[in-house]
């Protein structure tokens, strides 16, 4: 059975998202029976460069941090005399260096009692070797916007966490390295990410490696990302002062000298600061250009789903589960194979914009205030902005970003109506709601199947698509019956 989709309704200009054109707004409003799958292969550089914006969000960095770091790091790699194969390994490590960062967001938010996306960039610039500076910055970031007593409790809580920094960095680096390994990148890329935060003097993390024991590419990653952060936040003079002060402590002395030299290369910094820096990074992919096929795109979507779900302990496997339910609904409704592929990928990546929401909001045990609700309701905009930049993902970017829209126009962020939501989009909406209802959240336990279905039934035909709800009910009750047998 196929869901009828009305068309042709006029769209109020008030409801238009300024970054979504009229064509984009109406895109994918049919089930595209015979639409082909994506081309056989696309450059992995394009996919990773665009998706790196999600990693920037989870680190609280300005969008483009990863690709700007890539430009800087590749220049340092050439200065260090890396051969072509090593430059390729470095390139992918620079774009994936923060792949494990979402895994420590919840712990940082809980320990500091502050917005993890405010804490992370501030703690990134502090000199860990300067205990007084570290203590001052820890205080500044503890219990932000709370009472003095609450701030003191969080500050002391952080201070008492022996080995906290080491543990969090170890988790982050290992998860990032594991994602690179799962995606089939070479050992040099994997090892570069694992040792990203080691320091020349042996006081880095997670293993305290010293000097030449730190992989050269890790040393490049560390200096490149730190230079990018300082340059953007404090300017070239502060960046130069930082490099000179940390030479031989944080950073390899020879690499530091190279970085100091390139600070005066106006052409390099023009490319770093260019609005087209992402396209420039894609064109920089070394001669060993990697192409990714349909299966590879699935693997990347799954890897980023794991990055998304690692942001909160309450979203474990949420994206994978939503993808599973949405695809199963599509099968029940007779979607063709290309539409099922797109629906699964949309399910895996629908919440990629949520990495831009603070864990103080995502993990809050209580009602959200107006500002917090507004932050939550912006996350589909981030999903749209990230996915539409990837040519291989453009055919499901709209479906993924409309997962909170409702047939009666009461959803968010665009208040779309029934005429603007095709069958795959409607299936994804139902799958997302059902998975959220049956999963445990900070403010309640997961609901039993019957109760969740009852809530969906209440909105069937008004806010939610009737056929999609019926298909889901058939799937989950059938699965329960099978388990009972």
The whole-angstrom separation of Cα 80 and Cα 250 is 17
Residues 6+ apart with CB under 8 A from 459: 406, 469
Tokens representing 64?
């483009």
φ/ψ (deg, to 5) at 191? -70, -35
The whole-angstrom separation of Cα 26 and Cα 22 is 6
φ/ψ (deg, to 5) at 410? -95, 5
Query: Of the candidates 324, 327, 323, which has an alpha carbon nearest to the alpha carbon of residue 335?
Result: 327
Query: Is residue 366 left, alpha or beta, with left meaning phi > 0 and alpha meaning psi from -120 to 50?
Result: left
The whole-angstrom separation of Cα 364 and Cα 373 is 11
Tokens representing 107?
């712990």
Is residue 209 part of the annotated active site? The answer reads no
Between the two ends of the chain, the Cα-to-Cα distance in Å is 28
With beta carbons less than 8 A apart as the criterion, state whether 436 and 445 touch.
no
The whole-angstrom separation of Cα 73 and Cα 133 is 27
Q: Which of 311, 354, 388, 460 is catalytic?
A: 354
Q: Concatenated DSSP letters for 383-416?
A: HHHHHTTSGGGHHHHHHHHTTT--TBS-SSSS--
Tokens representing 439?
């999963």
The whole-angstrom separation of Cα 160 and Cα 171 is 19
Residues 6+ apart with CB under 8 A from 321: 435, 439
The catalytic residue positions are: 354
């Amino acid at each position: 059975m196929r869901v009828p989709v009305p068309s042709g309704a006029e769209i109020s200009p008030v409801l238009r998202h300024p970054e979504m054109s009229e064509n984009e707004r109406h895109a994918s409003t049919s089930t595209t029976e015979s639409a082909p799958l994506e081309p056989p292969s696309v450059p992995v550089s394009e996919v990773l460069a665009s998706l790196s914006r999600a990693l920037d969000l989870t680190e609280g960095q300005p969008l483009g941090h990863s690709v700007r770091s890539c430009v800087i790091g590749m220049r340092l790699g050439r200065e260090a005399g890396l051969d072509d194969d090593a430059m390729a390994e470095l390139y992918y490590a620079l774009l994936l260096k923060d792949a494990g960062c979402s895994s420590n967001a919840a712990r940082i938010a809980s320990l500091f009692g502050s917005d993890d996306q405010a804490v992370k960039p501030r703690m990134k610039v502090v000199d860990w070797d300067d205990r007084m500076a570290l203590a001052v910055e820890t205080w500044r970031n503890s219990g932000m916007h709370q009472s003095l007593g609450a701030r003191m409790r969080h500050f002391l809580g952080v201070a008492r966490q022996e080995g906290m920094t080491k543990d969090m960095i170890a988790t982050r680096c290992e998860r990032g390295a594991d994602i690179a390994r799962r995606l089939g990148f070479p050992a040099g890329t994997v090892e570069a990410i694992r040792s990203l935060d080691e320091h020349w003097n042996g006081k880095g993390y997670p293993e305290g490696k010293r000097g030449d024991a730190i992989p050269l590419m890790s040393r490049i990653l560390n200096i490149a990302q730190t230079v990018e952060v300082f340059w953007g936040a404090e300017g070239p003079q502060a960046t130069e002062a930082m490099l000179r002060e940390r030479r031989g402590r944080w950073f390899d002395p020879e690499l530091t000298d190279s970085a100091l030299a390139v600070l005066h290369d106006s052409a390099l910094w023009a490319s770093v600061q260019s609005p087209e820096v992402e396209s420039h990074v894609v064109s920089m992919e070394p001669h060993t250009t990697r192409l990714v096929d349909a299966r590879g795109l699935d693997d990347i979507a799954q890897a980023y789903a794991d990055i998304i779900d690692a942001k909160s302990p309450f979203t474990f496997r949420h994206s994978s589960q939503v993808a599973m339910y949405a695809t199963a609904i599509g099968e029940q409704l007779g979607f063709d194979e290309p539409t099922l592929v797109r629906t699964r990928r949309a399910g895996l990546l629908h919440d990629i914009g949520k990495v831009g929401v603070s864990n103080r909001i995502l993990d809050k045990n209580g009602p959200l205030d107006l500002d917090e609700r507004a932050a939550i309701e912006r996350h589909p905009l981030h999903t749209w902005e990230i996915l539409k930049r990837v040519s291989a993902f453009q055919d499901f970017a709209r479906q993924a970003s409309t997962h909170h829209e409702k047939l009666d126009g009461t959803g968010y962020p665009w208040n779309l109506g029934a005429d603007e939501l095709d069958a795959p989009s409607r299936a994804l909406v139902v799958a997302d709601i059902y998975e959220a209802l049956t999963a445990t959240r900070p403010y309640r336990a997961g609901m039993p199947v019957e109760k969740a279905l009852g809530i969906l039934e209440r909105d069937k035909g008004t806010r939610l698509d009737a056929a999609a709800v019926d298909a889901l009910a058939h799937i989950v009750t059938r699965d329960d019956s099978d388990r009972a047998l």
